Structure 1
Amino acid sequence: MKFQANSPDASMIQAYGPDWLQVGQRRLEASVLLGSDGAMADWACDRFDALNADLFAQTLSLMDGPPEVVVFGSGTRLRFPRPQWLRALVDARVGVETMDLGAACRTYNILAGEGRRVVLAALLEPVPPST
């Protein structure tokens, strides 16, 4: 069976690793906001401790109109954002799902492929070099 997205115009994640994403032919190595309508923006955060309410509020203005849901990829492990960071999303009645990066990428692809208005907020933290 051939899998084909219902919404072929959606920006789909082709591959990912602990500190990178590939969208189409473009490899991204810094935190990013990705909208199912093709919108993309740098997300100025390189570690979980640097997250704040302003960064999450940026997800509301990425696309033309608010998303239905924001999928937050918290890096290589599951970490939940503080409730106060999500206030703008709650006030706008936008759903938020938190997952590790791999699960967030897969979930984003499914929702975007269904034609849903979704934003992926992907936290890409540098991986320490192996010793």
Structure 2
Amino acid sequence: MKLHLANFGQQNIFSGYGDGYVMINKVRHEQNLIVFPDQIFESWPVESVATLNLEHFDTVLPRKPEIILLGTGNEIAFPDYALMAKIIQSGIGFEVMDTQAACRTYNILVEEDRQVAAAIIL
């Protein structure tokens, strides 16, 4: 396995995670949030995956990321199929995974200079 030093510059990256929190650039966050490489939307008002609707993505969709990574906590939980279909039909990729996998995947995509958004439910 080849190891190399990641160069994220001034971009937001996940530097840690655990039960009920994520760390972005070594700052602990304990509430749901949306993360872009250049901006963080804290206190994302989502109660659960089951209550997600298109309006919850109003801060994400206008930015037209290539992909949205939905981190659903310790276990994978899929939102309503109609919601996922609407996002995908708008030309934006949408992947659902547990929060730890979403954090790791986000970091890889940021390093590849991809336009990514991580929507994290803690």
Scaled by the length of structure 2, the TM-score of the pair is 0.87
- Is 2:49 the counterpart of 1:48? yes
Which residue identity is paired with 1:82? D
Question: Which of residues 3, 6, 9 is equivalent to 1:4?
Answer: 6
Q: Post-superposition shift, 1:47?
A: 2.4
CA distance, structure 1, for counterparts of residue 12 and residue 20 of structure 2? 19
More divergent stretch after superposition (48-57 vs 14-23): 48-57
Which residue identity is paired with 1:11? N
What do you get for the CA RMSD once the two structures are aligned? 1.7
Which residue identity is paired with 1:59? V
* Unaligned segments of structure 1, at least 5 residues: 125-131
CA distance, structure 2, for counterparts of residue 46 and residue 15 of structure 1? 23
> Percent identity between the aligned chains?
28
What does the per-residue CA deviation read over 1:87-113, in whole Å, with 9 as the maximum and x for residues that have no partner? 442232000111001111000000011
Contact 2:50 2:80 survives alignment (8 Å): no
Which aligned segments of 4 or more residues in structure 1 are displaced greater than 4 angstroms?
none
CA distance, structure 2, for counterparts of residue 15 and residue 25 of structure 1? 7
**Equivalence for 1:34:** 35
Scaled by the length of structure 1, the TM-score of the pair is 0.81
Across the two proteins, how many residue pairs are aligned to each other? 119
Contact 1:73 1:123 survives alignment (8 Å): yes
Contact 1:13 1:109 survives alignment (8 Å): yes
CA distance, structure 2, for counterparts of residue 81 and residue 98 of structure 1? 8
What does the per-residue CA deviation read over 1:12-70, in whole Å, with 9 as the maximum and x for residues that have no partner? 1000112111111321110000002x211131113223322211343213xxx310000
